[in-house]
Amino acid sequence: MSSFFDSIPPRKTLPAFVGNMIERWSEARDDLDFAAALARPDATVYLFDEDRAVLRPNGAGFAAAFRPDEARALGLDADSLILLGVVDAAPRFAGRVAGNLPDGAKTIDLRSLAIDAALDLSELASLAQARSYLHWHSVNQFCGRCGGPLQMRGGGTSRTCPSCNVEIFPRVDPVVIMLAIDGERCLLGRQARFAPGMYSALAGFLEPGETIEEAVRREVMEESGIRVGRVAYHSSQPWPFPHSLMIGCHAEALSTEVDRDAEELEDCRWFGREEVRTMLAGNHPDGLKAPFPMAIAHHLIKAFAES
């Protein structure tokens, strides 16, 4: 018997921050002995200095994982340690250091690592998890109800207030990113902060009480004046800046006259399929470009161009 899923084509490539191999064990971390996990010979720590990953030399390239003793020698802040989960039973932690790096080590932001494809996809995804968790814990030190100091629980799965018993959990901010399509053309926009010639899919945060489809329709209308009807989910991407989830969709355009929001977009217009293909290939006659393959927008645009 054929399956519904047999009709879904396999994805040939993946954006950055996808493919994390860490088993999070969120419900079981209270049962794990944090100190015992840290003392295991196969335990490793992902380190961050501010929001930049710390990398160490590894042959001709770099590696992101440090043994706990190596992390301590670099000035590990023990209070920042978070248990991310396990890989083949080996514990994976995340923690912070501050500027005490040995010769050959370097810090680098995750965007640059993703663009340069400098690390294995799964390790880059683990770093994304680490960065998001560390950022959330760093900005949630005090209780929003009573102002008392919060304490970490479950190796980092939550924070609790001993004064009023509030428990809060790491947040994920959902963002819709969508490519509106009108037959043989798609809608792309550019913000002033984009690299020269770069055009991308439109995007925006979901609001409370809103479905993904409703958010797609609202954001496209607000930014471009285009009405859309049917919405088709494509894929998603963790976006650790600081803790978003990009929800990629294609949307059917019901109108075609662009009325862009000048405060949001520097330009917004329709692009034919063949022109989009030149942008993806990097040979557009006017130097226009699509986003890098590390971004889910690239994959939304590529799916349209190749359909």
Mean pLDDT of the chain: 93
pLDDT band, very low/low/confident/very high, at 5 (cuts 50, 70, 90): low
For domain 8-139, which architecture applies?
Alpha-Beta Complex (3.90)
Q: Cβ distance 62 to 118 under 8 Å?
A: yes
State how far the Cα of 70 lies from the Cα of 158, in Å rounded to an integer. 27
Question: pLDDT digits over 12-29, tens only?
Answer: 788 999 999 999 876 666
3-class state of residue 73 by DSSP: helix
State how far the Cα of 124 lies from the Cα of 147, in Å rounded to an integer. 35
Domain boundaries of the chain, sorted by first residue? 8-139, 141-170, 173-306
Place of tokens 């930049």: 52
3 state SS for 89-139 = CEEEEEEECCCCCCCCCEEECHHHHHHHCCCCHHHHHHHHHHHHHHHHHHC
Question: pLDDT digits over 206-245, tens only?
Answer: 999 999 999 999 999 999 999 999 999 999 999 999 999 9
The mean-pLDDT minimum among 57-66, 114-123, 237-246 falls in 57-66
Place of tokens 């998001």: 132
The residue-averaged pLDDT of 53-60 equals 88
Q: What are phi and psi of 232, to 5 degrees?
A: -120, 125
pLDDT band, very low/low/confident/very high, at 305 (cuts 50, 70, 90): very high
Please determine whether the domains at 8-139 and 173-306 fall in the same fold group of CATH.
yes
The reply to whether CATH 3.90.79.10 applies to domain 173-306 is yes
3-class state of residue 248 by DSSP: strand
Percent of the chain past pLDDT 70, that is, above it, reads: 95
State how far the Cα of 29 lies from the Cα of 56, in Å rounded to an integer. 28
Sorted by sequence, the CB contacts under 8 Å of residue 178 that are 6+ apart come out as: 201, 202, 203, 216, 219, 220, 228, 231, 248, 249, 250, 251, 300
